Amino acid sequence: MKKENFIFGLRPVIEAIKSGKELDRILLQKNLRGESFRELFNLIRELEIPFQFVPLEKLNRLSKQNHQGVIAWVTDISYQKIEDILPLLYEDGRVPLILLLEGITDVRNMGAIARTAECAGVDAIVIPLKGSAMINSEAIKTSAGALYKVPVCRTSKLKETITLMKESGLQVVAATEKGSRDYTSADFISPLVLIMGSEGTGISNELLNLCDERIRIPLAGEIESLNVSVAAGILLFEIIRQRNNTHVHR
């Protein structure tokens, strides 16, 4: 673990939060008690910072310092809000293209998808507050710096965020092997949210039920699915191909 990427200790983490530092995740020792812990935990809940209770042994493996039962990762990027981005895209005359990633927990996949997204002109990437890969130095390196360029929006309420985007005029399309339509026959010209899920579990039924359309990439081999970053590349550049052919402003 690189020292500059994390903060340890109750008071240092509290002061980091109060000073406006964005934290990607916090590990807390199980059964931690005391006034400082209560202050920290109130801040975590108020600001919806992802956290996890872990055994003391895990914290000791991560740091030899006096961590006092708390280790926090500092984000390498500044998260944004999709509700702030969409109006600006419309004002600029753009046709929004948003990529929503559910359950992508591998940092290399996250970085590879972000790199493709930046090359394809994606306007923003939306990820859940919990159950998503950390945007750390490895993810940024894999993205070739794209995670510094494409706005990343983190939300604790994916369903509400999708509803907001639908109300803002975006069509919601899910990429799933359960899809009824081949991706080449879908219409990607309108403002769009493309949802990609994890290779293991795919997109949750909760989100699938909110989608306007489900598309699939036909496979000829015996392996049942593509790597999610490869699938994202195929779909994003089909979207761009269609939009370029109709001269849609990206």
163-191: pLDDT as tens digits = 999 999 999 999 998 888 999 999 999 99
The answer on pLDDT for 13 being more than 60 is yes
**What is the domain partition of the chain in residue ranges?**
3-74, 82-245
The answer on pLDDT for 63 being more than 90 is no
The answer on pLDDT for 86 being more than 50 is yes
User: Which CATH superfamily hosts domain 3-74?
Assistant: Ribosomal protein L30/S12 (3.30.1330.30)
Q: How confident is the model at residue 249 (pLDDT cuts 50, 70, 90)?
A: low
Whole-structure pTM value = 0.87
CA dihedral 195, 162, 204, 98 (to 10 degrees): 10
The answer on pLDDT for 214 being more than 70 is yes
Which of 198, 160, 164, 12 shows the shortest CA–CA distance to 84? Answer: 164
- Helix (H/G/I), strand (E/B), else coil: 27: strand
Q: Which amino acid is at 43?
A: L
Beta bridge partners, 6, equal 73
- Asked if 190 and 95 touch (Cβ cutoff 8 Å), the reply is yes
Q: What's the whole-number mean pLDDT along residues 218-237?
A: 90
What does the alpha-carbon distance between residue 25 and residue 73 come to, in Å, rounded to a whole number? 5
DSSP state string for 69-92: TEEEEEPSS--B-HHHHHHHHHHT
Which pLDDT belongs to residue 1? 44
What does the alpha-carbon distance between residue 187 and residue 23 come to, in Å, rounded to a whole number? 38
Count of C-beta atoms within a 10 Å radius of residue 104: 22
Q: What percent of the chain has pLDDT over 70?
A: 97
- Asked if 118 and 229 touch (Cβ cutoff 8 Å), the reply is no
Which pLDDT belongs to residue 224? 77
What does the alpha-carbon distance between residue 225 and residue 83 come to, in Å, rounded to a whole number? 33
Which pLDDT belongs to residue 115? 97
The answer on pLDDT for 3 being more than 50 is no
**Residues in contact with 142: Cβ distance below 8 Å, sequence separation at least 6, in sequence order:** 107, 108, 110, 111, 112, 115
φ/ψ of 156, rounded to 5, equals -90, -5
**Residues in contact with 90: Cβ distance below 8 Å, sequence separation at least 6, in sequence order:** 96
Which pLDDT belongs to residue 131? 87
DSSP letter for 132, please: S
Stronger pLDDT, 70 or 75, i.e. the higher one? 70
Q: What's the whole-number mean pLDDT along residues 11-22?
A: 90
Which of the four CATH numbers 2.60.120.10, 3.40.1280.10, 3.30.1330.10, 3.40.50.300 does domain 82-245 have?
Answer: 3.40.1280.10
3-74 shares its CATH topology with 82-245: no
Q: How confident is the model at residue 220 (pLDDT cuts 50, 70, 90)?
A: confident
Q: What's the whole-number mean pLDDT along residues 140-158?
A: 94
Q: How confident is the model at residue 250 (pLDDT cuts 50, 70, 90)?
A: low
